[in-house]
Amino acid sequence: MEITSFILLGLLIVAAIYSITSYNGLVNLKHGVTKAWANIDVLLKQRHDELPKLVETCKQYMSYEQETLERVMQARSAVSDARAKGDVGALGAAENQLRMGLGNLFAVAEAYPELRANEGFQHLQTRISSLENSIADRREFYNEAVNNKNIRLEQFPDVFLARMFGFRPSHLLEFSAEEKADVDMQRLFR
């Protein structure tokens, strides 16, 4: 065999190894995004299950606040629908509405000392607040996984493998302008 044949064979082997490694890296990133989404989904499900208990506890004390309770349940339903469809954009908007509804609910609850003293309400409020913090953390992990995947899909020469094997970019779980803005505490306590 000639030296040229060895060089060509060596280049083909290097190209094959690089292609396999790049493909496996893209698959790993794709599954990282799926895993990050699944982690959010678990927390959303847990919160979804806790909200009716919180609303029922509040109903016992807050007979004049039906509109606030209904908004929380409507937002809960919108989050559930978006979650079931895997619609990241709709989920972001629904999450915003749910957070606003919960903020209003907790603010209104301040006017009901018997409710605030209720052990069940305290437990549910703590549990839901904890879930909210966990969801925020998982959203950050999800967006990081999406960002890493999307960058890799656009980098040269991985862009060619990504197109050839049909890898698609994922969507960030973005925050609305309302979520980024400072909370208007005056409005919450009116």
CATH topology of domain 3-188: de novo design (two linked rop proteins) (1.20.1440)
Closest CA to 128 of 44, 187, 185, 70: 44
Scanning 60-175, the segments in alpha helix (DSSP H) are 66-85, 88-109, 113-117, 119-154, 158-164
Neighbours of 56 (CB within 10 A): 12
Provide the pLDDT for residue 185: 40
- Of 41, 31, 25, 26, which is closest to residue 139 (Cα–Cα)? 41
Question: How many CB atoms lie under 10 A from the CB of residue 116?
Answer: 14
Q: What is the pLDDT of residue 190?
A: 42
Question: Nearest 5°: CA angle at 149, between 146 and 153?
Answer: 135
User: How far apart (Å, rounded) are the C-alpha atoms in residues 128 and 166?
Assistant: 39
Mind listing the pLDDT tens digit for each residue in 86-112? 888 788 888 888 888 888 888 888 878
Tokens coding 83: 């979650």
Q: Are 23 and 153 in contact (CB under 8 A)?
A: no
- pLDDT tens digits along 46-82: 988 888 888 888 877 776 677 888 888 888 899 889 8
For residues 136 and 43, what is the distance between their CA atoms, to the nearest angstrom? 10
Q: How is the chain split into domains, by residue range?
A: 3-188
Q: What is the pLDDT of residues 1-50, one digit of tens each?
A: 689 999 999 999 999 999 999 999 999 999 999 999 999 989 988 988 88
Chain segment 125-176, per-residue pLDDT in tens: 888 888 988 988 999 999 999 999 999 999 998 999 999 999 999 988 876 6
- Can you give the pTM of this predicted structure? 0.72
Q: What is the pLDDT of residue 181?
A: 47
Q: 40 with 139: CB under 8 angstroms? A: yes
